[in-house]
Amino acid sequence: EAIEKGGYDHFMIKEIFEQSKSIGDSMRGRLNAEAGHLQLGGLNQYLDRLVAAERIVIVGCGTSWHAGLVAEYLFEELARINVEVEYASEFRYRNPVIGKNDIVIAISQSGETADTLAAIELAKSKGATIFGVCNVVGSSIARATDAGAYTHAGPEIGVASTKAFTAQVTVLTLIAIATAKRKGTISEETYIQLLNELENIPEKVEQVFENAQKIKEIAFIFTYARNFIYLGRGLNFPVALEGALKLKEISYIHAEGYPAAEMKHGPIALIDEDMPVVFLATKDSSYEKIVSNIQEVKARKGRVIAIVTEGDSLIPPMVDFVIEVPKTHEILTPLVSVIPLQLLSYYIAVMRGRNVDQPRNLAKSVTVE
């Protein structure tokens, strides 16, 4: 096992640091920015169906569901397709309005999650076309779908998902861009820009790792926090949910992720000088709004950790701690902004002496209801 961990203390940290490579692996052979080339072999034949789709329904559980929420923004923004994201466990027990004109995308690292598999069977019985985004080759979900794209993140051993999430987001981004290109909903210029930026992501993720020591120091300060709030807007809202989930899963600290603007409808009541609030505050279209949300939290003495874009000079003096991430195209932000949150939860959990690779009560793959 020590050999498998490749010198790291835990699989989780090994898998976090693998992401600069695994994100590249999930694009390998599919993308060549210089040639303006983007192709997903498994979906080729079905691309026209995506282009014609009036609606996509995404199903998944846990972290995979969060990747689905990111994809909702991507497909809507780039390909102008209406998207609904469903917890597989809820979808399967409703009487969902779904039929042969719908496309269902099932997202699953393991490809074995019982609820996701059952949601697929239900959608299939109603005539929908099913695509899979799975990590494990030949898994039950991969076999149950009409077509799909593997994430190629390599085996993920840590129960808390890290590299599988970024690989899912990468592959879903590729699918959304390919659909948008074929549909004509993005310009040639944006298309090329996105492909170039995607190729730069592994290097940008590598740059985030340079902050690991700083994140460790922040983790030390908050090791004994009892609660955490994570706030983000737009594409960073699902990242806030994912950051909160990571912390809960492995450190057993209660954490909530919220869209930053929803804070005033509840969570703001929780804020006092003991409440750490993690803000996803990268320079994107909601930047100014996030800045005022930060001010609202600081006015109530909350302790703010802000994930900001490199070179930001406005936010650092307003908050308690900042962690910088490199600038990228707004659409690709989650791929860099999630990394510091994974590291933060990892270091907090280690400092609390938790079994990070196998947290209590959780399973890597939930194959029963």
Binding region for ligand G6P (CB under 6 A): 61-64, 108-110, 113, 116, 159-161, 362, 364-366
Per-residue b or e along 178-209, where b marks 16 or more CB atoms closer than 10 Å to that residue's CB: bbbbebebbeeebbeebbebbeebbebbeebb
Nearer to ligand G6P, 61 or 219 (CB): 61
Residue nearest to ligand G6P (CB): 62
Those residues with Cβ within 8 angstroms of residue 64's Cβ, 6 or more apart along the chain or in another chain: 107, 108, 109, 113, 116, 161, 164, 165, 168
Q: Shortest approach of ligand G6P to residue 332 CB, angstroms?
A: 21
Least distance CB 231 / ligand G6P (angstroms): 22
CB of 14 to ligand G6P, least distance (A): 16
For ligand G6P, give the closer residue by CB, 168 or 309.
168
Query: With 0-12 CB in 10 A as exposed, 13-18 as middle and 19+ as buried, what is 160?
Result: buried
For ligand G6P, which is the closer residue by CB, 251 or 286?
251
Q: Which of the residues 5, 21, 289, 364 is marked catalytic?
A: 364
By C-beta, is 153 or 297 nearer to ligand G6P? 153
Least distance between ligand G6P and beta carbon 18 (Å): 16
Q: Which amino acid is at 321?
A: F
Cβ 348 vs Cβ 214: under 8 Å = no
**Alpha-carbon span 328 to 98, nearest angstrom:** 36
Closer to ligand G6P by Cβ: residue 86 or 284? 86
Tell me whether residue 120 or residue 315 sits nearer to ligand G6P (CB atom): 120
Identify which of 301, 303, 305, 302 has the alpha carbon closest to the alpha carbon of residue 315.
Answer: 305
Amino acid at 71: A
- In whole angstroms, the minimum distance from the beta carbon of 298 to ligand G6P comes to 33
Give the residue among 70, 74, 63 at the shortest CA–CA distance from 156: 63
Specify whether 163 is catalytic.
Answer: no
Farthest CA pair distance, the chain: 56
- Report the nearest approach of ligand G6P to the CB of residue 351 (Å): 22
Asked whether 338 and 278 are in contact (CB, 8 A), the reply is: no
List active site positions.
Answer: 364
